[in-house]
Structure 1
């Protein structure tokens, strides 16, 4: 059940970057509220500010103006309660699967027995018990991404921020991980914000799909999805939603080119 109180509140957030002599505006007056337990996908054209918005939620970037809040308090920097999963996995190559997943709990000062218990729990959750003592270079791309997800969860994250995490994977692996991510989300009651270019992926995964305009990024529309789970990508209902969201995205491309 989704809690009504917002875990994340983005209020009139703008972000500019200096690139040599040029000022780039990545976000302009973005507003977004996310309730605990929701699965929200951000979609939009390349350069629309999706990743910048995600990094502000993570605390890696600060807004140029406006506010980013978690539980009503300003996000001032990275925190274990907000975990980030990247497309390129970002695992420590010199650590085993078990050691990668246990890195955060150990760094927080948990007792060795608690770290071991936490690691065992999340290794099992992502189906990697047989691979717990191997190194990242011995894993497939899909397995590496499972380790990255488990590492965030083991660090006691309430909010998982995912920046095109399946973008580099083949289609079959991507579909399998989408199913596994949904199962983890439903079992753990986490809050997930997921950036993707793929409309179909967003509709398959999310409670809400947030469409962003081309840069400078604004929230163009916030679309609650009333589709039963598990979702069938071939169903008329699914494809009606895909057409509607596709029309919103493509209308921006047309306006920008005009």
Structure 2
């Protein structure tokens, strides 16, 4: 039975691909001339070579040749196979040399980022100072840090700018994977791994510490001892009474502090 033009374009859709993408073509890596299902498959393989000097990553924009997964024809980058006429990716970006049949991800190309993003163009904006796309709910609602996404996640150390995982912006402006943040808080860690500022509103936790301190009487030798503390949240220094449970910042009332002088106890 003869296929219609649209049926030919869609032939094999969602039937090919790898763990990263559903697509109907493979790429020839210009850096090593090897064939891979996608650049992430290339990077996963080449990043684990025994010889460190041979390890490398593929630059997506430099891909020039693709191989149709349906008819095995190698050809220049294009959306439609020059031989069998199938669409090698329902979504196609000629700039990124990116193919994907699963358009439910809402792929779009950001000219300012220079790469394709997922999640729907209408749900994101590009922050010029941070140098990356963020969810629209963060517009005018985040602390800007120049090129904040162009570094590695402080938990898993994966490069954030082109990571496939969802990222989030902390109150301090630093960024990390959302899954890594959730895992961190499950382990009762509530400070940014980079700057040590609190990542959430901790006012309720501080009230509980207030109550614990009021209920916990220090030994007589320590009751009038003072220490100098540095607040991680506001960077203020304060002299406060020493207590084993915690030390409250006199400026912002945070307990996210650390001692910068020890208590002096008479021998």
Q: Give the TM-score normalised by structure 2.
A: 0.25
* Bigger fraction of residues in strand: 1
* Bigger fraction of residues in helix: 1
Structure showing greater relative contact order (alpha-carbon pairs closer than 8 Å, 6 or more residues apart): 1
- Rg larger for: 2
